[in-house]
Structure 1
Amino acid sequence: MMKKPRIFLIFSIFLLIISGLIPYITGIKAEEQFTLISMQLPDNLKIVNSNYQRGWLNSTAESTLLLREANDTVQTITLTHQIEHGFLPLKPAVIYTYIQADLSNNTPPNQLTGQASPFFIRTELQANGDVNNTLNMERLRLQQADNAMQWQGLTGEVNLSQTGHLASTTLKLPALHSQSKLGELTIQDLQLQATVEESIAHLLLGHGHLQIGTLTLTNPFIGKIQLSELTINSYNVPNDTYLNLQFLITSKQLQLNTHNYQNVKIVLDLNQIHKESLQNIIVQLNQLQNLQFTSPTQLNFWLLGIMMRDGIPLLKHNPTVNISELSALTDAGTVNAQLKVHIDNLPSVSIFTLNTLPTNFIYEFSLEAPKPFLNKLIQTITYYWLTPEAVSATIIEARLQHWEKQGLLIATQTNQQYKTEITWKNNRLNVNGQNIPTQRVETIEKNY
């Protein structure tokens, strides 16, 4: 009768031993994962030293890395890890990572200066293999020559499935400001949500939602562009052979210098993109940073090789770029436009006939817009090339009426809007059903 209590006691002791070993075994697995990640770093990121101290319930690790950029700028990055082994499956293992960049070792002319808060990552390793990451970086300010960037309040979550593919991500950024010779970019209230379903050569595809409160771009050539309540939704339509993407872009208000537009909407589709060809192109372009070219000619020949090897096969699958809707509300009324670019039955192309490739593209464009809007649009476009007298409202209105008589523009029944349909195919221009000879196009340009 004493055997049952003895067996129970032995079994209990066995469970206690196994339970006690769980955190230690988890620590071993965490160290293996840490080592694996270190071996998979990019070529321009090298580990100078690494120290991993494994305990029974906790471990610590510290690594120093050197990041060498394309302009030979070297950054020193310090990673500090605090690892709680947890008690799987009841309690997940947790890794606290602090990333700090040292900017003091930079030297001119590519000297990078500024201040950066530590980048904090909290990682949970679940029993089923999933990984949940929480991100936080309070502020960043960088300056390099004429380029500057700063942001504040970056937070987010990145969740990885057990297969290793990115499952979902959420990022929030209250403010970002960037400045260069090309102009200034300011973003306020950025939020990003994405669910990834597929990866093609490190190109992650799935469903995404980007929301920006205000985006302002100032450029010395185009002036000021400001978008309010901008949203971009992307969708990946699954297909075994082809990549089909759709983008829905909306903005409550668009300001182009002194012109304002409301309820801007763009629906963009990218269809029939051959996956295998696209993957080969991406893989080769990713190798570009590791290649050393002695001259621009050598680079051009390398890119030409990619075009002939994979670019032409991609085009032979008849990819399509289709803007099925581009609409906006102006002071004079609503503007609607559509644009489709595609290739049908691409003939054999050699390196000697590559210059004829653009003639195989088909362009289809349609527009319906208020007359005052077209008047202002043409004024804006031609302002820098013509004299003030030539871009006066009266002159342009007369030109629009002349185009109407030629059939290039068609007035609607209310006579408040113009519409037109333009097709370019086989080096031939067709406008509203009538073929326009090349000589007539040149005549129209001269008369303008």
Structure 2
Amino acid sequence: MRTDGISRFAAIWAGQLVSIAGTGITGFVLGVWVFQLTGSATRFGLIMLLEAVAAIAVAPVAGMVVDRVDRRAVLVVSDIVAAGATGVLLALVAGGHLQVWHVYPIAVVTAMCATFRMVAFTTMLPLLVPEQHLGRANGLAQTLPAVQIAAPLAAGGLLAAVGLRGVVLIDLCTYVVALAITVVVGLPERAVRPDRAGQVGESTWAELTGGWRELRRRPGLLHVMLLLGGFHLAAGMAGVLVQPLILTFAGPSTLGVLMFVGGAGMFAGSAVMTAWGGPARRMTGVRTFLAVAGIALALHSLAPSALLIGVLAPAFLFTLPIITGSAMSLLQSKVDPAALGRVMAGARMTAQGGTALGFAAAGPLADLIFEPMLAPGGALAGSIGTVIGTGDGRGIALIFAITGITLIALAVWATTSPALRTVDDLPDLLTTNTDEGLADARPAAG
């Protein structure tokens, strides 16, 4: 078997990895800055909420564009625009003019660019690697979000060494690296140029909704999307609150270490998925690791302990690449390649939609409801408080317990639903990559 397609995929992946690492470091530093300046979980969560809403809004357009135009060009333009937004941030920091509200529009622009980039990347992925290695490639792709989680440890050292301006400058340089790799690496025509068969003459609305029509045509795939949405709703609530939870009993340096440990767990999950490729029946991987994730998440609520979080966070994050990689491989292999960009956009939209709901609910639920209820003398202090404790962060801990139970319930649904149990039996529509198809590679977009 030729490995040309795999090596080209790995090169593009490496460029995106460098870029995402820089962005993750900058995002961590800015997030801590906003939280420490305002003391508000809601304002902290607003950054992630706006990123999610921006991604949802632009996802249908990204899918249509990726199924219409040169996908390499989409990667290049996305990185250029995101680099421009980072340049504005650098100018604000260098001039001493950065304010909290500046963070939000910059986050929106970079989130939109990330959506175009990831839709193009995940659409190209199954067209670059042989189908038998699709699960492994999706496992490797899951290291991209892992880098964002692990970035805080590097952020602490970089912040001390070069300051906020230096961190943002490094982020800007990572875009240059990603752009250089994207332009130089030769890519096969099949992966770069969309198959427009069946799309010519379609209205813009028909193209925007083509991914959802494709999913309705394949029984069970819409259920997979709903499952992903529920998973990201629960995980999003936990994700936006884990840093405020840790900061209630530890400082930023401990937070950075714990975030790194969590990211290491996600890296380990990606490594396992890359080596293993997931189970032959991909829904088995999804439902099994949903249950494991739910248990690990619920146990976060037991005590305000750095050691507890240091064990459970990597255990929870270990499951994410296997859940997401298995689900993405399932979608990529069961839909028409001509609609793949729009289906991938739909998957991102569903995931970000669940995440946005989680982000929107998490801060107000923590600040206005659960934290007061688990304060000393609060409504739940004499009941649930006797189990998980009372005081700062214990209301957030209760949210972790609820989200964990939600993931376990999703695993039960995935096990008992006939549509989800049989979705692996749908015929594959992804044409296996051939040596001839992989041999046709161009060094730059034409």
TM-score for the superposition, normalised by structure 1: 0.21
Give the number of the structure whose alpha-carbon radius of gyration is greater. Answer: 1
Larger strand percent: 1
TM-score for the superposition, normalised by structure 2: 0.22
Higher relative contact order (CA closer than 8 Å, sequence separation 6+):
2
Larger helix percent: 2
